[in-house]
Structure 1
Amino acid sequence: MYDENGRQYLDCINNVAHVGHCHSDVVKAAHEQNQLLNTNSRYLHDNMVDYAERLSKTLPEKLCIFYFLNSGSEANDLALRLARQYTKHQDVIVLDHAYHGHLTSLIDISPYKFRNLEGQKEWVHVAPVPDTYRGLYREDHEDPVTAYADEVKNIIEHAQKRGRKIAAFFVESLPSVGGQIIPPAGYFQKVAEHVHKAGGVFIADEIQVGFGRVGRHFWAFQLQGEDFIPDIVTMGKPIGNGHPLACVATTKEIAEAFAATGVEYFNTFGGNPVSCAIGLAVLDVIEKEHLQAHATEVGNFLMKTLKEQQIKHPIIGDVRGCGLFIGVDLIKDQAERTPATAEAEELITRLKEKYILLSTDGPGRNVLKFKPPMCFSMEDAKFVVETIDQILTDMEKECLSQKKTTVCST
């Protein structure tokens, strides 16, 4: 990125500019379609059909119905409506510290937001984040997958005793705001089993992490294994490379139940010719530039070099991730794993002074989050890690100097 004075910035966090800021192919597709036709989605256009077909090839066959919208928040709101109409239930289970959007319906299922606002609604149930580093069940637990899934099972049983009925388990495939978490493989399968038994559906929110970001797979939920298929998948942010576009993919059965209300789904701009042309261009670039393989290669290198820094700097408690979705958990002490919130903020500020854009997430605001555009290079990765090393070394020296001064003055 460049400012008005031509100063170059390294963007390590903008997962919206998925294939790169202002990618020429995406800009060209938007411009060319704008010159031909752009209208609302009541007018059927080939681009909508072509785009739905292209998306369907990336997903399990079961997910064959597509709704196009303008934003991830709209997509998640529609997913909630679909789930409730299909199940005839009301309640939703979410993970602690989750964030699913800015609409009122989504604030209600986002602990990250509602804990600071009106609080938890009766129909919302919060499960612990399947975090094996600082969660309830950690890396030394004999079976964290079952333990975390049983927490969801217990929530369902407790809710049912109070006469509540579960409509959906709503989860980010990789919890981002929750701290760049990688749920252990098999967790989704076990949770889905409990949720389905209760008459609910499984909704995978891919708005932050879809479209090849994890490298090995096109969708992050596929990290759980080939035997796992969500009932609903929501998409946003990277889908349009900065253009307002979003999508909900679901099954024929759920879509038919939704249509049976007799109230049609309509979105004025969702699925318009220009949006779909842009969506197609993004898919073309991902394929043409081999960005999934690139995410794997650069992501592996970035993880490797960050883990080398973990050995060198005690403040780095954990490095976790997949592809170009990586979290670096900064801690005050190895035993308690207390979040190093102030230190993380200091590091982010010093990186910004060196024109590197990085940010923090997690309940303790201490997890450095890497979600760069997919064109992020080996050179970029090397540069940012070297700079982090330099800043952490300086911070350690300053801390040591302050301790010596305090001792001497005492």
Structure 2
Amino acid sequence: MAVKTTILDMNRFDAANLDALDARKRSLIERRAALGGGYRLFYRDPIEVVRGVGTHVFDEQGTDYLDAYNNVVSVGHCHPHVVEAVSRQAGMLNTHTRYLHETILDYSEALLAKLPAEIDRITYQCTGSEANDLAIRIARNYTGAEGIIVTSEAYHGNTDLVSGFSPSIGMGQELSPACRLLPTPDTHIHGDIAVGDFIVEQLKACIADLRANGIGFAGLLVDSIFSSDGICPGKAGWLKKVADTVHEEGGLVIADEVQPGFCRTGDAFWGFARHGFVPDIVTMGKPMANGIACSATAVRHEILDAFTANIPYFNTFAGNPVAMAAAKATLEVMDGEDLIGNARRIGSMFVSQLEGLAVGHPSIADVRGAGLYIGVEFDDPATGDPMGAETLALIEQMRQRRVLTSNCGAYGNILKIRTPLVFSAADVDRYMTALEDSLTALHI
């Protein structure tokens, strides 16, 4: 029987395996007790990473691992242009936004130029969680309503407010009474085209349920690649009818671009742009500064003005000159190295090879993705049941072959491929060799 899991417990180190590790790793893990019990490590045999370059990380012994999981260092580990920009700015000044500083203005103008003209204001935070927290507050203020709709396995952050709209954290996290859940837009079940009509029906039902319980509808908070739900991008455009329905019902659309934004899908710079609609609020984080803590909330001016007329917003570390220098340099690399084109070309190659591999492995039930965000679903070919345990074993086999990847979905049976945007054809070959060898070793 398939067992549901949570986003933080997938591919998790089990302390019961501690005695099987070498003395150094045991010592490091024991010292992590100072961090408390909330933290998680990857893998049965955790990796100590000490250096990174491009699409590779290296452990303390110099062993090279291919990183096919990391979207934080979107333009590659330790990209020299970003490193130089950060070092230069850190050597001059790092302070907050209550002084004039040109770097934040230069970056804001460049980033807003990437957004639709209607999205013409931007505020800065340090994490995607903070960005989504502020977005919900802004949406509630503008609509005068409380209800927020998300998907059934969504993860939008870990603040007190946003945790209430992040069901993938697990049953121990109580959802907000003003939260309603859409089912995962599973294109494997519903199809690439029909999925839009299905989600519109479900959205209307959620809105009706909110109102039946005396809760107004403030908006939809959506990650357009549905990363935690199992990676369900579908055909470009299907999400527009959902966004249109939100607006018809008086709500706002908050596009959470932490996962699909910044060239990731290869089809457009933003995930929402791939679907051809303009949201009211856009949140972003992880990939925007290549590992430096930086996030943002971009908003239509009339919506933000309604909020700031009564509530000032200041975040001490947000928008600091070092973070802005990192973000500006990251954007320059994305443009200068045509990383949207690379995501499109390499992603297409990747999907094609995965589909070819599926021919000889019936446990691969579906391959889906957009650009360099790809999901490979494993189901029992006899019963259709999710193969979560087998997918976890596969990830461990890949780790033994020095390839780092992970899983997602309600049952952990989706192999998650989310590489740095500089992934190459040679990297795809290395990944595919490790994957095929791992499948053969596991007889799946």
What is aligned with 1:133?
A: 188
Q: Paired residue for 2:208, among 152, 157, 166?
A: 157
Are the counterparts in 1 of residues 398 and 405 from structure 2 also a CA contact under 8 Å?
yes
The Cα of 1:139 is off from its aligned counterpart by 2.2
Q: Paired residue for 1:327, among 352, 357, 375?
A: 375
Partner deviation per Cα, 1:24-80 (whole Å, 9 max, x = no partner): 111100111112221111112111111110001111000110001111111110111
What is aligned with 1:59?
A: 115
Partner deviation per Cα, 1:251-305 (whole Å, 9 max, x = no partner): 01111101121x2110111111111111110011111111111111111110000
SS of alignment partner, residue 344 of structure 2: helix
What is aligned with 1:246?
A: 295
Are the counterparts in 2 of residues 148 and 187 from structure 1 also a CA contact under 8 Å?
no
What is aligned with 1:373?
A: 420
Q: Distance in 2 between matches of 1:55 and 1:92?
A: 27
Q: Paired residue for 2:438, among 384, 391, 395?
A: 391
Are the counterparts in 1 of residues 103 and 324 from structure 2 also a CA contact under 8 Å?
yes
SS of alignment partner, residue 350 of structure 1: helix
Task: Provide the alpha-carbon RMSD of the alignment.
Answer: 1.5
Alignment of 1:224-243 (within 5 A): 224-225=275-276, 228-243=277-292
Q: Is 1:116 the equivalent of 2:164?
A: no
TM-score, with structure 1 as normaliser: 0.92
Q: Distance in 2 between matches of 1:54 and 1:337?
A: 47
Q: Distance in 2 between matches of 1:118 and 1:348?
A: 27
Are the counterparts in 2 of residues 145 and 184 from structure 1 also a CA contact under 8 Å?
no
Letter in 2 for 1:253: E
Are the counterparts in 1 of residues 398 and 404 from structure 2 also a CA contact under 8 Å?
yes
Letter in 2 for 1:251: R
Greater mean deviation of Cα atoms: 249-258 or 179-188: 179-188
SS of alignment partner, residue 369 of structure 2: strand
The Cα of 1:120 is off from its aligned counterpart by 3.3
What is aligned with 1:318?
A: 366
What is aligned with 1:197?
A: 248
Q: Is 1:349 the equivalent of 2:409?
A: no
Letter in 2 for 1:107: S
What is aligned with 2:60?
A: 4
Q: Distance in 1 between matches of 2:191 and 2:246?
A: 25
What is aligned with 2:328?
A: 280
What is aligned with 2:75?
A: 19
The Cα of 1:185 is off from its aligned counterpart by 4.0
Letter in 1 for 2:178: W
| Identical counterparts, % of pairs | 39
The Cα of 1:155 is off from its aligned counterpart by 1.5
SS of alignment partner, residue 93 of structure 1: strand
Q: Distance in 1 between matches of 2:234 and 2:203?
A: 14
Letter in 2 for 1:314: P
Partner deviation per Cα, 1:312-359 (whole Å, 9 max, x = no partner): 10111100001100000011126x531111111111001111111010
TM-score, with structure 2 as normaliser: 0.85
SS of alignment partner, residue 249 of structure 1: strand
SS of alignment partner, residue 390 of structure 1: helix
Letter in 2 for 1:257: A
Are the counterparts in 1 of residues 373 and 418 from structure 2 also a CA contact under 8 Å?
yes
Letter in 2 for 1:298: I
The Cα of 1:161 is off from its aligned counterpart by 2.7
